Chain A
Amino acid sequence: MSALPRASELGLISCHVCGLVCRDAACEGMVCPRCGTSLHRRKTASFARTWALLIAAFILYIPANVLPIMRTASLGDVDDNTIISGVMELWAKGSPDLAVIVFTASILVPLTKFLVLSTLLISAKRRSQWARPQRARLYRLVEFVGYWSMLDVFVVALMTALVQFGFFSLVAPLPGVIYFGLTVVLTMLASMSFDPRLIWDDKGDDD
């Protein structure tokens, strides 16, 4: 389709560490002659790794939402909050802006990542030629947003450190926050292990 040639079409392969371009030997176990790094045409097992990490992240996303992430106690009134209940409480208690931010960061972003990465993976696997530039942009967006979806973990960590007034006011992290952090880390790893070049691969190409 594309008029421009690909490295594989030209029989070239580049080292992703030192950038040396060498001839593609078209066999397994190629090593960069300059720096000794393994050479890959695409990221190794990109599909498998991305899928695996994505699935793991999704599995962990369930306890992250079911288990409470934060315990707030003020004047003996102990309150355990999950992400959703926290959002609802913020909304009900008159901070809808904060509620929207937390909802976006903790619910919307991870879910979008799952959705986007799955779409990218499926479409790339099928070598779909549909909306390739948009998909590439989507991927960049996912990579960019990934760093910021730890908001909840940061909030809990910060509150735990700041709000420690004994009986009067107390914030403590609960197991949910660990699962949430793991989910975020795993989605980030998943998006990193996805090779965006796969979006541009045509049928008949090999990874």
Chain B
Amino acid sequence: MTDQSTTPQDGELPQPVVRHRRVGVSLIWLVPILAAVVGISLMVHAWMQAGPVITISFKTAEGLTANKTPVTYKSVVIGKVRKIRLSRDHSHVEVRVDLDKSAENFATAGTRFWVVRPRIGLGGVSGIGTLLSGAYIGVDVGDSKKPQHEFKGLEFPPSVTHDVSGRSFVLHSSDLGSLDVGSPVYYRRIQVGQVASYRLDKDGQGVSIQIFVDSPYDRFVSVSSRFWNASGVDVSLGANGLKLDTQSLATVLAGGVAFQSPQGPHDSSPAKEDASFRLFGDEATAMAPPDGPPHYIRMRFDQSLRGLTVGAPVEFLGVDFGKVVSIRMDYDEKTQRFPLIVGAVVYPQRLGRANEKLVALAKARGDNADLSHMVGMLVAHGLRAQARTGNLLTGQLYIALDFLPNAAKVNYNPDVRPLEIPTAPGSFDKLQEQLAEIVTKIQKVPFDSIGQHLNSTLADLDKTLKQVNGQVLPQVNDTLKGAQHTLGSANNMLAGDSPLQQNLGATLDELRRMARSLRVLSDYLGVHPDALIRGRRADPKLMQPAPAATSNASQGSKP
């Protein structure tokens, strides 16, 4: 074979070797089959991965891009925006989102969607990351298992997401104040939660604020917890000095709610979920004992009430009892005067045990325990309302309910509605009266005649003074000069080198000498008493009794 092939001749071409080979089906068809399998598997995979398609409506599609904007839950992408279109009425946009298969349970009722964009608020800055990465749609999944495919997107991120543990509570307030969704909730100045939502009550009389307190702080919300609006700066000037009270700078700007349990014994069992609380205006009112139901009373004053304002306190024996809510003017035709009708709201429960006892007494007496009957009894004992000066500087008035010992009797009808409390002139009016009396007394003083008398007296005085000046004073002057002269000569006499002094010295010397002679004489006489009789003996040679002789001689010679 090899020879044949290596040496071919013309016309004698080499014969190919024939090997019988088993030829099966062409394996090449495996390639398209494989490709088809891959393609089909891709399709199946895509179909398997395709989760629910949902539509979310937003007010604006700002920052959203079809086929690009992701839907993320805890920073994990669970879907993608596929299509954005305007609604039929052009009022909002409808965003079609393809969720992943794994995110199937997000397409349920209660799930909330919102667009995460950079937001700058008073509470801080959020979504900074989206400045670079672009907006995305955030999700908060609810509890419900009911499938839903149409959603209404939130305009703002919810402040409380479902996965945060804690409890929510409802606060009732007359107005929202500076609170907003996301405003912090403080407990002992630590932020423990936030305002989740708020809504106007159905009757329009107040606002319900839902707050969310994070776990584990939610257990500090007890049945008797008090909530107050911690917004703003509370400045109080008291006996302890100036006190500036605020929770944090953020609350001054953004508002906030604080809560605490009242001092002293109280029910400290934890409050239930969604329990209702009242939101007080400030800490002091929040911590005050509960007011109980308010009662409306009316007072009629006959004098000017300059300085009394709506909101002025009403005090019962110095205890804060309520506040003035209205001041209106009336006209009395009979007396031609303008009485002022002051309306006030009082809280009898603020009187504490006194109120309880009064109620008990009224019940025991068979009366109904209505405030008007209880007050009737007190009025009989002299309870009167007075407008008193609360602040001398500003002249602010307050209403004081006090027992006046000598109050004039009044007719009190407990069945009049609203309850009217008799009044007495206020302390300030009394003061005015007394001042008027003093003024009239002063006016009675005869200032004119006093003045005349005083004038003539003064004229006499003037005359006397002139006399004194003209006559008495020159004489006094002369006398003084004489006295000065006398004193001068006396001074000369007493001077050290005056002749008087020198004579006096010489005399004294002489006296001294005389004394010495006398002593010598007496000594001699002591020794020789006989000398008195016999005379002086002749002197011994050595002891010359010179002194006696000299003394005598000196005595004789000196003077």
Contacts and interface: CB of A to CB of B under 8 A. Distances in A.
B63 interface: no
Nearest to B15: A23
Interface of A: 12-13, 20-25, 27-34, 36, 39, 45, 48-49, 52-53, 55-57, 59-60, 62-63, 67, 75-79, 182, 186, 193
Interface stretch (B18-26, B396-404, B417-425, B543-551): B18-26
Given A29-B19, A34-B5, A60-B38, 16 more contacts: A20-B5, A20-B14, A25-B16, A29-B18, A29-B21, A32-B16, A33-B2, A33-B5, A48-B26, A55-B32, A59-B35, A59-B38, A67-B42, A76-B129, A76-B132, A182-B35
Interface string B1-31: 1101110000001111111110100101101
A52 B32 contact: yes
B39 A48 contact: no
B68 interface: yes
Nearest to B42: A63
Instruction: Tell which of A22, A33, A39, A182 has the most Cβ of chain B within 10 Å.
Output: A33
Contacts of A25: 15-16, 18
B5 A56 contact: no
B28 A45 contact: yes
Contacts of B68: 79
B17 A31 contact: yes
19 contacts: A22-B13, A22-B15, A22-B16, A23-B13, A23-B14, A30-B17, A31-B17, A31-B18, A31-B19, A33-B4, A33-B5, A34-B14, A36-B17, A45-B26, A59-B32, A63-B38, A63-B39, A77-B133, A77-B134
Nearest to B25: A48
3 tightest A-B CB contacts, nearest first: A56-B35, A33-B5, A76-B132
B319 interface: no
A56 B17 contact: no
B473 interface: no
A95 B391 CA distance: 83
Interface residues of B, number: 31
A13 B16 CA distance: 9
A178 B36 CA distance: 15
Contacts of A31: 16-19
A56 B16 contact: no
B532 interface: no
The prevalent SS among residues of A at the interface is: mixed
A24 B423 CA distance: 141
Given A52-B32, A56-B31, A59-B32, A33 B17 contact: yes
Contact of A33 (B14, B28, B39): B14
A34 B20 CA distance: 18
B439 interface: no
Given A22-B13, A23-B13, A60-B35, A28 B21 contact: yes
A77 B70 CA distance: 12
A117 B134 CA distance: 46
B442 interface: no
Interface of B: 1-2, 4-6, 13-21, 23, 26, 28-29, 31-32, 34-36, 38-39, 42, 68, 129, 132-134
Nearest to A57: B35
A165 B501 CA distance: 128
A33 B15 contact: yes
A55 B29 CA distance: 9
A37 B16 CA distance: 10
B290 to A, nearest CB: 55
Nearest to B14: A22
A50 to B, nearest CB: 9
Contacts of A53: 28, 31-32
A25 B20 CA distance: 13
B28 A49 contact: yes
A193 B20 CA distance: 24
Nearest to A10: B13
A175 B38 CA distance: 12
A39 B15 CA distance: 11
A48 B38 CA distance: 20
B86 to A, nearest CB: 23
A21 B15 CA distance: 9
B20 A22 contact: no
B16 A12 contact: no
A22 B5 contact: yes
Contacts of B36: 56, 59
A30 B1 CA distance: 14
Instruction: Tell which of B4, B13, B15 has the most Cβ of chain A within 10 Å.
Output: B13
B335 to A, nearest CB: 84
Nearest to B19: A29
A60 B32 CA distance: 9
Given A22-B5, A34-B5, A34-B6, A186 B14 contact: no
Contacts of B6: 34
